[in-house]
Amino acid sequence: MTQAAPPAAATPPASPAAAPKSRTAERSLARRALARPEIGALVAAVGVYIFFFAVAPTFRQADSFATVLYQGSTLGIMALAVSLLMIGGEFDLSAGVAVTSSALAASMLSFQLTANVWVGVGVALVISLSVGLINGLLLIKTGLPSFLVSLASFLMLQGLNLAITKLLTDNVATNAINDMDGFESAKAVFASEVTVFGVDVNITVFYWLAFAGLATWVLLRTKFGNWIFAAGGSKESARAVGVPVNLTKIALFMTVGFAAWFVGMHLLFEYNTVQAGEGVGNEFYYIIAAVIGGCLLTGGYGSAIGALLGAFIFGMVNQGIVYANWNPDWFKFFVGVMLLLATLVNLWVRRQAARR
Amino acid sequence: MTTNDLTKPTPAAEGTTEPVVQLKGVGKLYGNVRALEGIDLDVRPGQVTCVLGDNGAGKSTLIKIISGLHQHDEGEYVVDGKPVRLHNPREALNLGIATVYQDLATVPLMPVWRNFFLGSELTRGPWPIRRLDIERMKETTQTELSAMGIHLDNLEQPIGTLSGGQRQSVAIARAVYFGARVLILDEPTAALGVKQSGVVLKYIAAARERGLGVIFITHNPHHAYMVGDHFSVLRLGALELNAARDDVSLEELTNHMAGGTELAALKHELAQVRGVDVEELPEVVNSPST
Amino acid sequence: MDLRFDRRSRAGLATIAVVTVLLATGCSSQGGKKAQDSADDISAGKANTPRMKIAMITHAAPGDTFWDTVRKGAKAAAAKDNVELVYSSNPNGGDQANLIQNAINQKVDGIAVTLAKPGAMKGAIAKAEKAGIPVVGFNSGLEDWKSQGLLEYFGQDENLAGQAFGKRLNQMGAKHNICVIQEQGHVALEARCAGVKKTFKGKTDTLYVNGTDMPSVKSTISAKLKQDSSIDYVVTLGAPFALTAVQSAKDAGGKAKVATFDLNKDLIAAVKSGDVQLAVDQQPYLQGYLSVDSLWLYKNNGNFSGGGEQPVLTGPAFVTKDNVEKIAKFAQKGTR
């Protein structure tokens, strides 16, 4: 190091010793596919499908597949919203009961006011979005981890669900609303069946696929999607370059609220009455579906297609075990194994990406 | 939010070097503790001003004032000849003063091009289907990085897979593209190895070539001397040395950095230890403290 | 092969030998796995009717002794009737309905279903009937089985059982009871407490506990008993909770007595010893057995109980110290 040397300014920065341009081409297709968050879920989905196809004859029927898809869809619509939230770096433990809250609100409001059920549907949407907004604001104002904040709102909603239902109906389930104005049209929107090639498929399956497409587009092709990844990947860096991190997180919580409303409306119009105690525990299935689909628990990484696949796998295992006539006592065990495998695949994929 | 159509800085011609940012006798108090006192600093376009100092010398306080995180209590902070008082980093950014922090530069899991445009994304199409203009962003990223002499194989790779030096360099290129006139680099080489530090130093030089005023914070006099045009050494919150390149040698700089008498004592101690060749150590110059 | 052992492996062998001897000689002379194995399930030969497939779909949460007994009854009937039994369960209404859909896809010959959430089952049951699959109800859904077109119903009227329970409490001289509900929002449990409240002359308080967390059940009941010393009876709605309530009552001074809905073999012992005063049995084994057996009978001989008008009541059967001996040996096998 010669101190007499002039500042390096004189020499323009040389290109780093002949950067090997050809490395791009060498990255094989498989290698690039491995970098996608949903690849683990895709492999698992194909494997689970082939497996049940082989062991359970009933599983091969088209109407059985429709049942699997339906199971996947009610879980999957929530899992989509939850996966976006997780990519944004947050959890929502109140997501499971929020579905029930929304259905209860719509049902009781319509019944108590003897109003058109669409009034209840509208108010339920406002309530669901408000729950999301409150979750988000609490998170930002308190600075506590979302795990704690949403745990509190989970417990509060659970209590409110029962207390208000008992207060208004003197029962733990809502009154049937299937004879009220607007029920038929609402059922057509939220809970009708569509016949595809002679198989009845619940409309939620199509919503599920449409929402997955929308979520993917938002994530990968819009500014907001960029902000979601940034907010979850590194909050401080995102803030430093001007990403409205707080706004992004609140919007994500409200997205979960919207999904809870949608699924709640489906449950209400599919099953006419709502039990106050339902939905507890589902929040973990949403998170599991998202994780199987490649979302990192630490945030900043994941995909909507992955969450779709995660919920689909969940539906397949859920119904497949019954089609195969296995002892259902083992169901939770298989779910646990799946989660473990999915997490290991994710870990491995992440290491591959980090190593490159 | 910075928009992408900010006019690009034109390299300042030699000689017309009015300072963009100027500190005149700036001081800062934290309660009763005096963190900075009487700091004079000029940052001119196309020049690298190195701020050196040991841990606790007041370097980070100085950056925080310039970047708008803290406000000064004494003296004047002048931008383009007008005294200012910045309340947040956004105001500083709007004046063209961008800070690249060592750890907070990027989102590791996101692709390079998404990181480059993060917070200032380019879009196309009307509102409901307004979408990212991915082609244009990738092209621009490629062009801007090339202009800084950064060559990457694949803009889709997560920026976390780049080396520390490359990541800093992308952050520098980003600041330059989004209209920065003054670039504050907070210890960009601190956590890097020799080779990676070299990469970063090269991009600092490149930024200067593009006419930016650079404030290079470091505690490594060798790194500073390789790219610096002006050197300010902080010691206990005050300027110990404030000199142009022509007025100071690397030895002097090193000496100031370590604190002359302390280094002399250290040299003496080391001389007792067999195996350390004291002759190889830089000569200690006992310069009067300013 | 090298047959020599070094000293360590010889020591190891000696240890194994000692343990084996201990295991062989140190057996418990009563109880344990062996006693259980020798008490075989009830078997009554096997029908030579064609193989048929019956789906049993319940709202049970996994791991409940009550539902295990239901399943044992169903299994016994299935074995006797040459039936392939497909058992599945889910406490969530929508998921349970989906399991019915699953059974329809499997083209089963009959479905036995619990109507804990009748509204949720409606659509799926209608589909099963449309597909020509006979459906019987059991355990819960007394109000709805007829309107939903079910063939027959086996179960206990929870509200009636509660009322009978309340009357028995009056006879036993109770003044103030707490009705412990282990699952907030469960229709059948609420109905039991409502029934008790209706006929009981003294005061009835409802206490909600978290049924999945026994320590919390125990401490909640204790706290309530300590807080209000006038309580002389704890009414629980499931056998495991009764046994916990016995401990709570001891903690709180032992004044309050315990009476409960439902039965299991540990509870029989508690009734024998006088820890639990009264248990009301809805005979889950019978519910499971009859559901499967009736579907077999319907298929092979066209019979159905109650003529599609009246439910077949499997309870309430009261168990007290006086009659506990009679059913104790069945309970020991886990079939009562």
Looking at the partner chain, which of A67, A172, A323 has a beta carbon nearest the beta carbon of C190?
A: A172
- Residue C45 inside a domain? The answer is no
Residue C29 — very low, low, confident or very high, per pLDDT cuts 50/70/90?
low
pLDDT for res A23: 44
Interchain proximity A275–C185, CB inside 8 Å: yes
Q: Are residues C149 and C138 in the same domain?
A: yes
C292 and C274, same domain (yes or no): no
Looking at the complex, report in whole angstroms how far the Cα of residue A174 sits from the nearest Cα belonging to chain C: 10
Among A24, A226, A241, the residue to mutate for chain B (most B Cβ within 10 A): A241
Beta strands C276-281 and C317-319 are: antiparallel
Structure tokens at C131: 């597909």
Same domain, B103 and B153: yes
The span from the CA of A283 to the CA of C150, in Å, is 34
Both C66 and C150 in one domain: the answer is yes
Task: For residue C289, give how far its alpha carbon lies from the nearest alpha carbon of chain A (Å).
Answer: 18
| pLDDT at site C253 | 80
A89 within 8 A of B107, measured Cβ to Cβ: no
- A295 three-state secondary structure: coil
Sign of torsion over alpha carbons A175, A154, A253, A313: negative
Same domain, B239 and B264: no
- Which chains does A contact via 3+ CB–CB distances below 8 A? B, C
Chains B and C contact (Cβ–Cβ under 8 Å for 3 or more pairs): no
- How far the first Cα of chain C sits from its last, in Å, is 57
Residues C167 and C246 in one domain: yes
Residues B139 and B266 in one domain: no
pLDDT (tens digit per residue) in C98-124: 999 999 999 999 999 999 888 889 899
**B65 in Cβ contact with B35 (< 8 Å):** no
In a domain, C116, yes or no: yes
Residue B65 lies in a domain: yes
C-alpha separations of A142 from A139, A251, A282 in Å: 6, 17, 26
B96 shares its domain with B169 = yes
Chains sharing 3 or more CB pairs under 8 A with chain B: A
Question: What is the residue type of C257?
Answer: K
B12 in a structural domain: no
| Six token digits for residue C67 | 């539902």
Q: Is B109 touching A (CB cutoff 8 A)?
A: yes
CATH number assigned to the domain comprising residue C306: 3.40.50.2300
Task: Place C166 in a pLDDT band, splitting at 50, 70 and 90.
Answer: very high
Same domain for B136 and B254?
Answer: yes
- Work out the widest C-alpha separation in chain B, in whole angstroms: 76
SS3 C235: strand
Tell me, yes or no, whether C82 and C145 share the same domain: yes
Number of domains in chain B: 2
Q: Is there a domain that residue C98 lies in?
A: yes
pLDDT at B171 > cutoff 80: yes
pLDDT cut 70: percent of chain C above it:
86
Hey, is the C-beta of B290 within 8 angstroms of any chain A C-beta? no
- Is residue C194 located within the same domain as residue C267? yes
Separation between Cα atoms, residue A251 and residue A247, nearest integer Å: 6
Q: What is the pLDDT of residue A95?
A: 95
The string of pLDDT tens digits covering residues A84-130 is 999 999 999 999 999 999 999 999 999 988 889 999 999 999 999 99
**Looking at the domain assignment, is residue C290 inside a domain?**
yes
Beta strands in A96-217 (DSSP E): 193-196, 199-202
Written as six digits, the tokens of A168 are 């208004």
In a domain, C85, yes or no: yes
Residues C171 and C251 grouped into a single domain: yes
Query: C257 with C240, same domain?
Result: yes
Give a yes or no: residue B147 inside a domain: yes
Better pLDDT: A33 or C148: C148
Nearest to A87 by CA among A248, A222, A279: A248
Cα separation, B105 vs C311, in Å, equals 72
CB atoms near residue B225 (< 10 Å): 23
Domain span at residue C302 reads 52-156+284-314
Cβ contact, residue pair B110, A223, below 8 Å? no
Domain match, B122 and B39 both: yes
- At residue C68, what are phi and psi to the nearest 5 degrees? -65, -40
Residue C32 located in a structural domain: no
What is the overall mean pLDDT for chain B?
81
Residue B17 in contact with residue B184, Cβ under 8 Å?
no
Which of A58, A64, A271 is nearest residue C94 as measured by Cβ atoms?
A271
Residue A144 backbone dihedrals phi, psi, to 5 degrees: -75, 160
Q: Looking at residue A22, what is its pLDDT?
A: 42
Query: pTM of the predicted model, to two decimals?
Result: 0.77
As a whole-number percent, the residues of chain B with pLDDT over 90 amount to 17
Instruction: Kindly list the residues from chain A whose CB atom is less than 8 angstroms away from the CB atom of residue B89.
Output: 240
Compare B228 and A176 and report the one with higher pLDDT.
B228
Terminal C-alpha separation, chain B? 42
- Please tell me the total count of domains within chain C: 2
Say yes or no: A71 contacts chain C, CB-CB below 8 A. yes
On whether residue B8 sits in a domain, the answer given is no
Chain C residues at the A interface, defined by Cβ less than 8 Å, are 62, 84, 86-89, 92-95, 97-99, 101-107, 117, 119-120, 122-123, 183-187, 190
Point out the residue among A74, A271, A282 whose CB comes nearest to the CB of C119: A271
Same domain as C247, residue C167:
yes
* C208: β partners: C181
Q: Give the whole-angstrom CA distance, residue A223 versus residue A229.
A: 10
* Residue reference for tokens 């669900």: A161
**pLDDT tier, B210 (very low <50, low <70, confident <90, very high otherwise):** confident
Q: Which of B160, B123, B108 is nearest to A221 (CA)?
A: B123
Query: Closest approach of chain C CAs to the CA of A74, in angstroms?
Result: 9
CB-based contact B160:B169 (threshold 8 Å): no
Question: What is the rounded distance in angstroms from the CA atom of residue B96 to the CA atom of residue B180?
Answer: 4
| Domain presence at residue B109 | yes
* pLDDT at res. C38: 44
Q: What is the pLDDT of residues B18-61, one digit of tens each?
A: 888 999 999 998 888 888 888 999 999 999 999 988 877 888 88
- The rounded distance, in Å, linking the Cα atoms of A97 and A131 is 11
In DSSP notation, C262-307 reads S--HHHHHHHHHTSEEEEEE--HHHHHHHHHHHHHHHHHH---GGG
Q: For chain A, which domains are there?
A: 37-355 (1.10.3470)
**Cβ atoms A229, A87 nearer than 8 A:** yes
Domain shared by B240 and B215, yes or no: yes
Same domain, B288 and B202: no
Interchain pair A332, C62: CB under 8 A: yes
Give the number of C-alpha atoms closer than 13 A to the C-alpha of residue B77, restricted to the C-beta side.
Answer: 22
Q: Are residues C125 and C168 in the same domain?
A: no
Paired tokens of C39: 């008490």
- Whether residue B63 sits in one domain with residue B204: yes
Q: Which residues pair with C278 in a beta bridge?
A: C259
CA closest to A164 among chain C residues: C185
**CB–CB of A173 and C117 under 8 A?**
yes
- Residue B37 and residue B113 in one domain: yes
Scanning every residue of chain A, which has its alpha carbon at the shortest distance from the alpha carbon of B196? A16
Q: How confident is the model at residue B87 (pLDDT cuts 50, 70, 90)?
A: confident
Structure tokens at B186: 């907070």
The residues facing C112 across adjacent strands are C56, C136
Peptide bond before residue C316 is cis, with ω within 30 degrees of 0: yes
As a whole number of angstroms, the distance between CA C31 and CA C332 comes to 10
Cα–Cα–Cα angle for A28, A15, B194, rounded to 5 degrees? 95
In a domain, B106, yes or no: yes
Residues 6+ apart with CB under 8 A from C186: A172, A277, C116
Taking CA A318 as the corner, what is the angle to CA A313 and CA A319, rounded to the nearest 5 degrees? 105
Beta bridge partners of B97: B182
Residues B149 and B270 in one domain: no
Name residue, tokens 């206490």: C207
DSSP labels for chain B? ---TTPPPPPPPPTT----SEEEEEEEEEETTEEEEEEEEEEE-TT-EEEEEE-TTSSHHHHHHHHHTSS--SEEEEEETTEE----SHHHHHHTTEEEE-SSSS--TTSBHHHHHHTTS--EES-GGG-EE-HHHHHHHHHHHHHHTT---S-TTSBGGGS-HHHHHHHHHHHHHHTT-SEEEEESTTTT--HHHHHHHHHHHHHHHHTT-EEEEEES-HHHHHHH-SEEEEEETTEEEEEEEGGG--HHHHHHHHH-HHHHHHHHHHHHHSTT--GGGSPPP--PPP-
Tell me which residue range forms the domain holding B267. 259-290
**DSSP-derived secondary structure for A85-125:** HHHTT---TTHHHHHHHHHHHHHHHHHHHT--HHHHHHHHH
Amino acid at B200: V
Q: Is residue C66 located within the same domain as residue C148?
A: yes
What's the one-letter identity of residue B289? S
Please indicate, yes or no, whether residues C99 and C240 belong to a single structural domain of this protein: no
In a domain, C44, yes or no: no
CATH number, domain with residue B66: 3.40.50.300
| Beta-strand pair C153-155/C135-139 | parallel
Are residues B102 and B187 in contact, defined by beta-carbon separation less than 8 angstroms?
A: yes
- CA–CA min distance B25, chain A (Å): 28
Pick from A64, A165, A172: CB nearest C105: A64
Contact C119 A70 (CB under 8 A): no
- Residues facing residue C110 across a β-bridge: C54
How many residues does this entry show for chain C? 336
Q: Which residues of A have a CB under 8 Å from any CB of B?
A: 1, 3, 5, 7-9, 11-16, 19-21, 23-24, 27, 217, 221-223, 225-227, 229-230, 233-234, 236-238, 240-243, 300-301, 353-356
* pLDDT over 80 at B108, yes or no: yes
Looking at chain C, the whole-number percentage of residues with pLDDT higher than 90 is 39
B14 lies in some domain = no
C135 vs A303: CA distance, rounded Å: 43
Residue B185 located in a structural domain: yes
> What per-residue string of b and e applies to C63-91 under the rule 16 or more CB within 10 Å gives b?
ebbbbbbbbbbbbbbbbbbebebbbbbbb
Calpha distance C292→C74 (Å, rounded): 6
Same domain, B91 and B130: yes
Please check whether residue C63 lies inside any domain of the structure.
Answer: yes
Half-sphere exposure of B58 (CA within 13 A, CB side): 25
pLDDT-flagged residues of chain A (< 70): 1-35, 339, 342-343, 346-347, 349-356
CB–CB contacts below 8 A, A to C: 91
